[in-house]
Amino acid sequence: MISHFDHIVLTVSDLDEAVSFYETVLKMDSIVFANGRKAVRFGQQKINFQLLGQELRNHAMEGAGDVCLITTWSMGKVIAHLTAHKVNILEGPVEKSGAQGAIQSVYFNDPDNNLIELSVYIQPSAEASEKTSEKTNLG
């Protein structure tokens, strides 16, 4: 029934600062849509930004978001990039459980204290993959 996320919405205190952070630090593309709303796009998904009080039906609060993003970069490159942009890493790298298996993650906050988890899938060794395959084939 559900195939994927289309977008999420984060409540922020400053739209331009949020867009700049996600463009610069997370290399996303900024877009403007319906009535001048601001968002960033990556892959086939986007993050819409709203100001506190802009959307009353969801009882939004600044800094209440918690998002895990998967990167194609190595964890070393991620950490170097975050450090170069003076992003304070709160935790990590640590191993966590992603939607499709084990991930290695670092955690940090965006300018509004939304928690961002930037993760890389951990590739199982060929030996571990063979054992899993053997178990599946044996039944």
As a whole number of angstroms, the distance between CA 65 and CA 47 comes to: 11
Q: Which of 55, 95, 117, 134 is labelled catalytic?
A: 117
In terms of C-beta density within 10 A (0-12 exposed, 13-18 middle, 19 or more buried), how is residue 12 classed? buried
- Determine, yes or no, domain membership for 13: yes
Q: Give the number of domains in the chain.
A: 1
Is the pTM of the predicted complex or chain greater than 0.75? yes
Q: What is the mean predicted confidence (pLDDT) over 76-105?
A: 95
With bands split at pLDDT 50, 70 and 90, how would you rate the model's confidence at 131? Answer: very low
pLDDT at 132: 46
H helices of 3-125, in order, are: 15-24, 75-84
**Domain residues for 39?**
7-138
Looking at residue 127, its pLDDT comes to: 46
Identify the CATH number of the domain in which residue 103 sits. 3.10.180.10
Specify the pLDDT at position 124.
64
pLDDT digits (tens, 9 = 90+) for 8-47: 999 999 999 999 999 999 999 999 998 899 999 999 999 9
Tell me the pLDDT of the chain averaged across its residues: 86
Active site (annotated) includes residue 117: yes
Asked if residue 2 is part of any domain, the answer here is no
Q: Which residues contact 51 (CB under 8 A, 6 or more apart)?
A: 11, 12, 13, 15
Phi and psi torsions of 31, nearest 5° = -140, 155
